[in-house]
Amino acid sequence: MRAIDGMLSNGGPRWRVAILDGDVASRAALRTAVEAAGGTVAIEAPVRLDAVPLMRQTRPDVLILAPSLSGRREPALMPRIAASVDCPAVLFTRDTGEALVKQANRARVMGFMLKPLRPAELAPTLDLALARFREIRRLEQARADRPVVDQAKGKLMTERRLSEEEAFRWLRRHAMDSRQRLGDVARAVLAGDQTGVPILDGA
């Protein structure tokens, strides 16, 4: 197992990738393809739980999981590994059987590549996995923020005599102007914070 530092000449890598694959030749092929596409490899290791602390330390953008087909242990570890890190997982395997697909679903895998590696498929697969992951996180955050946004709308409606639509437009405009999330602006309104959010200006 090893952590690897790498930067491109343009100032940063396209992605920082964790590769968990027990096959040395397969890892080398993935590393070559990642680097050729403008990325860098943050960690290489077999599919083991002891890779999790190093991934938390290196904080990769995306995880490539390549479980061994010789038994059930590595596929069974995928959900635990994927749940322990804050990045999307991409499955890299020859196995398309139902059992592995179930484990991949439990791991919330967001991309799939079949062995042997086709380097041209790697970049769009990683980009799509990252886009899906970010959109899911955005939706989850919006759902979590909904109650506080509703409370802030109610406060604005009461204190400033705004309609519900006007209160929401106020929150959204200030979120855009301050480059903050809508939920953060709503929390500032509820806290009466007039430093980060100009509550007293016009709607």
CATH code of residue 99: 3.40.50.2300
DSSP conformational letter for 50: G
Q: How confident is the model at residue 138 (pLDDT cuts 50, 70, 90)?
A: confident
Query: Is residue 108 domain-shared with residue 182, that is, in the same domain?
Result: no
Query: Is residue 71 domain-shared with residue 153, that is, in the same domain?
Result: no
> What is the average pLDDT score of the chain?
87
Query: Is residue 20 domain-shared with residue 98, that is, in the same domain?
Result: yes
Query: Considering the domain boundaries, does residue 181 fall inside one?
Result: yes
Indicate if the pLDDT at residue 96 is higher than 50. Answer: yes
**Cα angle 182-170-156, degrees, rounded to a multiple of 5:** 95
CA dist 31 and 40 (Å) reads 8
Query: Is residue 66 domain-shared with residue 153, that is, in the same domain?
Result: no
Indicate if the pLDDT at residue 8 is higher than 50. Answer: no
Percent above pLDDT 70 for the chain: 89
Given this model, what pLDDT does residue 100 score? 86
Given this model, what pLDDT does residue 126 score? 97
Segments forming the whole domain that contains residue 171: 140-191
Q: What is the pLDDT of residues 65-84, one digit of tens each?
A: 999 876 678 888 999 999 99
Given this model, what pLDDT does residue 140 score? 84
Query: Considering the domain boundaries, does residue 41 fall inside one?
Result: yes
Query: Considering the domain boundaries, does residue 63 fall inside one?
Result: yes
Indicate if the pLDDT at residue 191 is higher than 60. Answer: yes
Query: Is residue 18 domain-shared with residue 108, that is, in the same domain?
Result: yes
Question: Rounded mean pLDDT of 163-182?
Answer: 89
Q: What is the CATH number of the domain that holds 167?
A: 1.10.10.10
Query: Is residue 41 domain-shared with residue 102, that is, in the same domain?
Result: yes
Question: Rounded mean pLDDT of 142-167?
Answer: 89
Q: Which amino acid makes up residue 165?
A: E
121 phi-psi bin (left φ>0, alpha ψ -120 to 50, beta other)? alpha
Query: Considering the domain boundaries, does residue 186 fall inside one?
Result: yes
Number of domains present in the structure of the chain:
2
CA dist 16 and 7 (Å) reads 9
Query: Is residue 159 domain-shared with residue 59, that is, in the same domain?
Result: no
Query: Is residue 109 domain-shared with residue 172, that is, in the same domain?
Result: no
Query: Considering the domain boundaries, does residue 58 fall inside one?
Result: yes
Query: Considering the domain boundaries, does residue 144 fall inside one?
Result: yes
CA dist 91 and 101 (Å) reads 10
Report cis status (omega within 30 of 0) of the bond before 116: yes
Q: What is the pLDDT of residues 10-66, one digit of tens each?
A: 578 999 999 999 999 999 999 999 999 999 999 999 999 999 999 999 999 999 999
- Residue 121 dihedral angles phi and psi, to the nearest 5°: -85, -20
Question: Rounded mean pLDDT of 155-182?
Answer: 89
